Structure 1
Amino acid sequence: MGGAFLAAAVLARLGNRIELPTIPLFMLAGILLGPHTPGLVLVSDPHDLEMLSALGLVLLLFYLGLEFHLDDLKEGGRKMALAGGAYLALNVGAGLAFGFAMGWGTSEALVLAGVLGISSSAIVTKVLVDLGRIGNPETKPILGIIVVEDIFLALYLAALQPILSGADSLSAALMDGGKAFGFLLLLALAARYGTRIVGRFIATRDDELLVISFLGIAVFVAGVSEWFGVADAIGAFMVGLMLGGTTSGDRIRKLVHPLRDAFGAIFFFAFGLSINPGDLPTVLWPVLVAAVITLVMNVAAGLSAAKIFGFGALPAANISTTLLARGEFALILATMAAGAGLDPRLAPFIAGYVLVLAVLGPLAAGRSHWLARILPGGKDGGDGPTGGEPTREAASTA
């Protein structure tokens, strides 16, 4: 674990000198020091960091929930649902068409629909933080799309599991989906009406007790969510949504920062451990084609969201590029596909696709003003590189 932290830190420091984002560098550290590359093997079994990696994901989404206020959800709920629905329709639909075009089989096509359709909540969160865009107006629809994606994710996994396992019971699939949706509804009601109760429970002047309290609630609810078939990340997000509205919300945001950054780095390092670069050449062309399709669909989805919210070219470009990365959900699907005995080309394809977009996504998000110049109404490229975006300090204050 110490070696993982140090390797991630060294590569990130080197990358900062040439203004590279930290996410692909943390992943690169995992690839170079993992079991699939020659030389020093720091971690021979990626599962050794599985719990720490899960904690990193939980903390990333918990922080995202702290920054996402219920008032935002209530005021723009309909628009966010429309933007999220459009994003899923474009990307999942394109993924399904791509899957059938590959000719690997119906089950494989259904897996690819999810792989190409769902962006990485963890990478999106990290990009927003690293680029200081938490306070930007287009961040609200980005977070709204993530929420819609996570709800879809829970229902999609519940429906896909019996298909991959060969089960033909529609009632079992409906029961799993109903259980997941019911728990999501319970979390939403708790976030809406339970803020005062939870706020009294965690209220304390002692920072140590406050850290233990919010960590305990976030991790516990994330675990229970997973048991109900809901992604642990969305459970943590809902807890953050609830605690962000309490009187302790500002202190929690400050206290969770170092935990989020440290364990978030381990999440991306462990992500790199699972990638075998030797498998990538066999699926290079499908990976590149899928990446181009995803880029095109994301631009279309970004323009659609911008139109719904009345934004211009630069916010549309920010939405398109920020949501581009694919990550943890795709790897979950790869594991499910391997366990179901699907086409062996699927696992290396998913690994390569995720790697390409996990690197391309943060890079593209940092240079979204280039895309804005060629979008409708963006010939001037906005207001320069940031288009009037707040600085990191200003965003933090917001």
Structure 2
Amino acid sequence: MHHVAEALLALGGAFLVCGLIARAGVPIGLPTIPLFMLAGVLLGPHTPGFVLVGDPADLELVARLGLVFLFYLGLEFSLAQLTSGGRRLAVAAAVYLCLNIGGGLALGFALGWGTAEAFVVAGIVGISSSAIVTKLLVETRRLGNPETRVILGIVVIEDLFLALYLALLQPVLGGASGVLDAVVGVGVAFAFLLVLSVVARFGTRWVSALMRTRDEEIVVVLALGLAISTAGAGEHLGVSDAIGAFMIGLILASTPTARRLRQLTHPLRDGFGAIFFFHFGLTIDLGDVLAVLPQILVAAGTTVVLAVVAGIVAARLHRLGRVGAANIGLTVLTRGEFSLVLASLALAAGLDARLGSFAAGYVLVLAVLGPIAVYSSPRLARGIPRRLVPGGSPERDRTRRVPLDMDVGTSSLHELGTDLLQVRVLPGSRLHGVYMNELRLPDGATPGLLARDGTTSAVAPTTRLRTGDVLLVFTRPAERHDTERRILAVHRSGRLAHWLGDTGT
């Protein structure tokens, strides 16, 4: 019992310290990931002073849940959005990955830490942080900029690539003793991916049927069960649990429940993700980071150069100009969750211990440098020779400096204190033929948009619902339950539901 109390105090203290340090750092423009790591470093066993967690293993299981959430719930953009970019976007992402993975591999061999370590360094250096990138786009209010679609496309392709890269690295991380073991390891990893890909391609309707419930609690519990079980199965087969969680995320992202799931589980992702980064910080010795500081600075400088070159190539392909090139290259500059995950897996596999210190220092440097560079990108763009990015014009570059105040996603509704109901009129529903003024929704509930035959339009009191329509209703949380009951009553009993005694219960 005493051990349980100590564990709870340590976990609660970790959450509190992460929150307090993040609260102090976020207002001055620092992202949360390095702040959570810093909390672990300061209160870990390798730093003099108060030690909150003496043994990082005490938080390992909770930290691994954070790893599962980071990969499983890091899917903010659908595959349809990815493929809509066409060949130019694919080329831009391929150039970015080739430059950064190739540069990271060259750097890894130059460090002389070993062949296996060189491939891990390539992954640490080569993949940007989708969490920080997305956050920067929102904070800088650039979601409406023309280059943002390119940035998001690169991030999505990186997320897909990292699953493949982890599969390729599995023999290294699993400690394969020979060629045969390596081949078997890669084969198992790809077989596991293939099975999940088949489920994603042909089994989505069964997964959708499993998740089809209006009860939000059940949706969350089922999703967590699928994600954690698949991650555990992957770990049992010798495949990184991150791959299994990532693939389950792809499967669930294609179901009708995906939007609700992202909304409901984002707080869990953020909470457990904070513990993952805090746990990683517990393992870091600042003395070891200082010992590899020259390598960290060389890696950071190399990443800046390669990211800007990739941004110039992407801007040329999409004719975005110098500001667009700077925004692309500097926004995807930051490194975070994948670099730390890969370093953590490498340390667990018994590779060079310097990888952990290198990854921690590298992420800290770029996580601080990246946001500063992004906010300064319009000025830094002047350093890019105009002949390298001929597609833009001075006037267009100037207009891009004006931010567009636009936000997307369910977080916007949360900030407004509003819930969104999506009502689909299915065949046989008594909603068919009902006029909007006959719905008689409670005060505080407002019909918004109506989607019909591939088009959307605002609703009016005389708008008549038809089978196949999708109606969006905005409601205050306090009136949500009554609104749902009224819509259900009309669905079952028609416009006279109240007189027939149907209250939607």
TM more than 0.5: yes
Query: Given that residues 330 and 350 in structure 1 are in contact (C-alpha distance below 8 angstroms), is that contact kept between their aligned partners in structure 2?
Result: yes
Which region of structure 1 is more displaced relative to structure 2, 314-323 or 337-346? Answer: 337-346
The one of 376, 391, 395 equivalent to 2:407 is 391
- Offset of residue 106 of structure 1: 4.2
Residue 448 of structure 2 is matched in structure 1 by none
Residue 10 of structure 1 is matched in structure 2 by 20
- Offset of residue 191 of structure 1: 2.3
Query: Given that residues 132 and 395 in structure 1 are in contact (C-alpha distance below 8 angstroms), is that contact kept between their aligned partners in structure 2?
Result: no
The one-letter amino acid paired with 2:213 is T
- Offset of residue 88 of structure 1: 2.7
Question: Quick one: distance in 2 between partners of 1:78 and 1:275?
Answer: 42
The one of 203, 210, 229 equivalent to 1:201 is 210
The one-letter amino acid paired with 2:153 is P
1:49-198 superposed matches below 5 A: 49-65=59-75, 67-76=76-85, 79=88, 81-120=90-129, 123-124=132-133, 127=136, 136-161=148-173, 165=175, 167-169=177-179, 171-198=180-207
Which region of structure 1 is more displaced relative to structure 2, 327-336 or 68-77? Answer: 327-336
Question: Quick one: distance in 1 between partners of 2:153 and 2:62?
Answer: 30
Q: Which runs of 5+ in 1 are unaligned?
A: none
Query: Given that residues 12 and 26 in structure 1 are in contact (C-alpha distance below 8 angstroms), is that contact kept between their aligned partners in structure 2?
Result: yes
Residue 21 of structure 1 is matched in structure 2 by 31
Question: Quick one: distance in 1 between partners of 2:320 and 2:68?
Answer: 31
Query: Given that residues 151 and 332 in structure 2 are in contact (C-alpha distance below 8 angstroms), is that contact kept between their aligned partners in structure 1?
Result: no
- Offset of residue 3 of structure 1: 0.7
Question: Quick one: distance in 2 between partners of 1:386 and 1:62?
Answer: 35
Percent identity between the two aligned chains: 51
- Offset of residue 81 of structure 1: 4.6
Query: Given that residues 369 and 386 in structure 1 are in contact (C-alpha distance below 8 angstroms), is that contact kept between their aligned partners in structure 2?
Result: no
Residue 482 of structure 2 is matched in structure 1 by none
Q: Secondary structure at the match of 1:243?
A: helix
Q: Does 1:265 align with 2:277?
A: no
Query: Given that residues 90 and 301 in structure 1 are in contact (C-alpha distance below 8 angstroms), is that contact kept between their aligned partners in structure 2?
Result: yes
The one-letter amino acid paired with 1:24 is P
The one-letter amino acid paired with 2:407 is T
Residue 211 of structure 1 is matched in structure 2 by 220
Alpha-carbon spacing, 1:245–1:367, altered in 2? closer, same or farther (3 Å): farther
The one-letter amino acid paired with 1:142 is I
Question: Quick one: distance in 1 between partners of 2:189 and 2:89?
Answer: 21
Question: Quick one: distance in 1 between partners of 2:350 and 2:243?
Answer: 28
Which region of structure 1 is more displaced relative to structure 2, 343-352 or 30-39? Answer: 343-352
Query: Given that residues 69 and 245 in structure 2 are in contact (C-alpha distance below 8 angstroms), is that contact kept between their aligned partners in structure 1?
Result: yes
Residue 221 of structure 1 is matched in structure 2 by 230
Question: Quick one: distance in 2 between partners of 1:294 and 1:336?
Answer: 22
Q: Does 1:359 align with 2:368?
A: yes
Query: Given that residues 68 and 245 in structure 2 are in contact (C-alpha distance below 8 angstroms), is that contact kept between their aligned partners in structure 1?
Result: yes
Which region of structure 1 is more displaced relative to structure 2, 360-369 or 201-210? Answer: 360-369
- Offset of residue 379 of structure 1: 6.1
Which region of structure 1 is more displaced relative to structure 2, 106-115 or 335-344? Answer: 335-344
* Per-residue CA distance 1:130-173 (angstroms, 9 max, x = gap): 667678423431333323431342243135347xx47332x332
Which region of structure 1 is more displaced relative to structure 2, 214-223 or 351-360? Answer: 351-360
Q: Secondary structure at the match of 1:39?
A: coil
Query: Given that residues 367 and 385 in structure 1 are in contact (C-alpha distance below 8 angstroms), is that contact kept between their aligned partners in structure 2?
Result: no
Query: Given that residues 284 and 356 in structure 2 are in contact (C-alpha distance below 8 angstroms), is that contact kept between their aligned partners in structure 1?
Result: no
* TM-score of the pair, normalised by structure 2: 0.67
Question: Quick one: distance in 1 between partners of 2:259 and 2:348?
Answer: 43
Alpha-carbon spacing, 1:320–1:87, altered in 2? closer, same or farther (3 Å): same
Query: Given that residues 176 and 185 in structure 2 are in contact (C-alpha distance below 8 angstroms), is that contact kept between their aligned partners in structure 1?
Result: no
Query: Given that residues 170 and 240 in structure 2 are in contact (C-alpha distance below 8 angstroms), is that contact kept between their aligned partners in structure 1?
Result: no
Of structures 1 and 2, the one scoring higher in RCO (CA 8 A, sep 6+) is 1
Question: Quick one: distance in 2 between partners of 1:54 and 1:131?
Answer: 31
Which region of structure 1 is more displaced relative to structure 2, 151-160 or 360-369? Answer: 360-369
The one-letter amino acid paired with 2:101 is V
Alpha-carbon spacing, 1:46–1:161, altered in 2? closer, same or farther (3 Å): closer
Question: Quick one: distance in 1 between partners of 2:360 and 2:122?
Answer: 15
The one of 43, 46, 57 equivalent to 1:47 is 57
For the pair shown, which has the larger CA radius of gyration, 1 or 2? 2
Q: Which runs of 5+ in 2 are unaligned?
A: 1-10, 414-505
Alpha-carbon spacing, 1:235–1:278, altered in 2? closer, same or farther (3 Å): same
Alpha-carbon spacing, 1:280–1:253, altered in 2? closer, same or farther (3 Å): closer
* TM-score of the pair, normalised by structure 1: 0.83
The one of 6, 30, 42 equivalent to 1:32 is 42
Greater helix proportion: 1
* Per-residue CA distance 1:204-246 (angstroms, 9 max, x = gap): 1111111111111122223333444554334333333332332
Query: Given that residues 82 and 153 in structure 2 are in contact (C-alpha distance below 8 angstroms), is that contact kept between their aligned partners in structure 1?
Result: no
Query: Given that residues 373 and 382 in structure 1 are in contact (C-alpha distance below 8 angstroms), is that contact kept between their aligned partners in structure 2?
Result: no
Greater strand proportion: 2
Alpha-carbon spacing, 1:19–1:360, altered in 2? closer, same or farther (3 Å): closer
Alpha-carbon spacing, 1:346–1:129, altered in 2? closer, same or farther (3 Å): same
- Offset of residue 358 of structure 1: 3.5
- Offset of residue 14 of structure 1: 1.6
- Offset of residue 99 of structure 1: 3.1
Question: Quick one: distance in 2 between partners of 1:247 and 1:386?
Answer: 36
The one-letter amino acid paired with 1:69 is S
Question: Quick one: distance in 2 between partners of 1:218 and 1:339?
Answer: 22
Question: Quick one: distance in 2 between partners of 1:235 and 1:389?
Answer: 37
- Offset of residue 26 of structure 1: 1.8
- Offset of residue 198 of structure 1: 0.9
Alpha-carbon spacing, 1:35–1:319, altered in 2? closer, same or farther (3 Å): farther
